[in-house]
Structure 1
Amino acid sequence: MSSWPTIISTIIVTVAFAVFAVLSVVLAEIDARTHRIPNRLVLPGYLVAIALFVAACLVGAPWVTLLRAAVAMVALFGFYLALRLLSRSAMGGGDVKLAGLIGLHLGWLGWTELAVGAIAAFVLGGLYAVVLLASGRAGRRTRIPFGPWMLAGAWVGILLGTALILGIPPAQTA
Structure 2
Amino acid sequence: MLLLWMLLAAGFGLAAGVLLPRAVYRFSVGPEEPWRDRCPAGHPLPGPAGGWLGRAYCAGCPGPYGPRARWFAVAGAVVCGTLAAVVGPRPELAVWLVAVPAGLVLAAVDRAVNRLPDVLTLPLAGGVTALLGVAALLPGAEGSWPRAVLGGVVLAGVFGVLFLIQPNGMGFGDVKLALALGVALGWYGWGVLLVGAFLGFALCAVYGTVLVLRGRADGGTALAFGPFLVLGALAGVLLGGMWV
Q: What interval of TM-score do these two structures reach, taking the shorter chain for normalisation? A: 0.7 to 0.9
Q: Structure 1 pair 15/90, CA: closer, same or farther in 2 (3 Å)? A: same
Q: Which runs of 4+ in 1 moved over 4 A?
A: 60-64
Q: Structure 1 pair 107/20, CA: closer, same or farther in 2 (3 Å)? A: same
SS at match of 2:115: coil
Mapped contact 1:72–1:107 kept (Cα < 8 A): yes
1:107 aligned to 2:186?
yes
Q: Which amino acid aligns with 1:137?
A: R
Moved more, 55-64 or 144-153: 55-64
What residue is the counterpart of 2:9 in the other structure? none
User: Deviations along 1:140-169, whole A, 9 cap, x unmatched?
Assistant: 111101011111111111113587xxxxxx
Q: TM-score, normalised by structure 1?
A: 0.82
RMSD: 2.2
Q: 1:63: Cα distance to partner?
A: 11
Q: Which amino acid aligns with 1:18?
A: L
Structure 2 Cα separation of the partners of residues 33 and 142 of structure 1: 14
What residue is the counterpart of 2:105 in the other structure? 26
Structure 2 Cα separation of the partners of residues 135 and 107 of structure 1: 37
Q: Which amino acid aligns with 1:44?
A: P
Mapped contact 1:95–1:146 kept (Cα < 8 A): yes
Mapped contact 1:113–1:162 kept (Cα < 8 A): no
Q: Which amino acid aligns with 1:66?
A: W
What residue is the counterpart of 2:212 in the other structure? 133
Moved more, 60-69 or 136-145: 60-69
Structure ranking higher on relative contact order (CA contacts 8 Å, 6+ apart): 1
Q: 1:131: Cα distance to partner?
A: 0.1
Greater share of helix: 1
User: Deviations along 1:56-110, whole A, 9 cap, x unmatched?
Assistant: 2333477981110011101100110000000110110100000111000000111
Q: 1:10: Cα distance to partner?
A: 2.6
SS at match of 1:10: coil
What residue is the counterpart of 2:90 in the other structure? 10
What residue is the counterpart of 2:127 in the other structure? 48
The gaps in structure 2 that reach 5 residues or longer are: 1-88
Structure 1 Cα separation of the partners of residues 212 and 241 of structure 2: 32
Q: Which amino acid aligns with 2:107?
A: A
Mapped contact 1:112–1:162 kept (Cα < 8 A): no
Q: Which amino acid aligns with 2:90?
A: T
Greater Rg by CA: 2
Between the two proteins, the alignment pairs up a number of residues equal to: 156
SS at match of 2:235: helix
SS at match of 2:232: helix
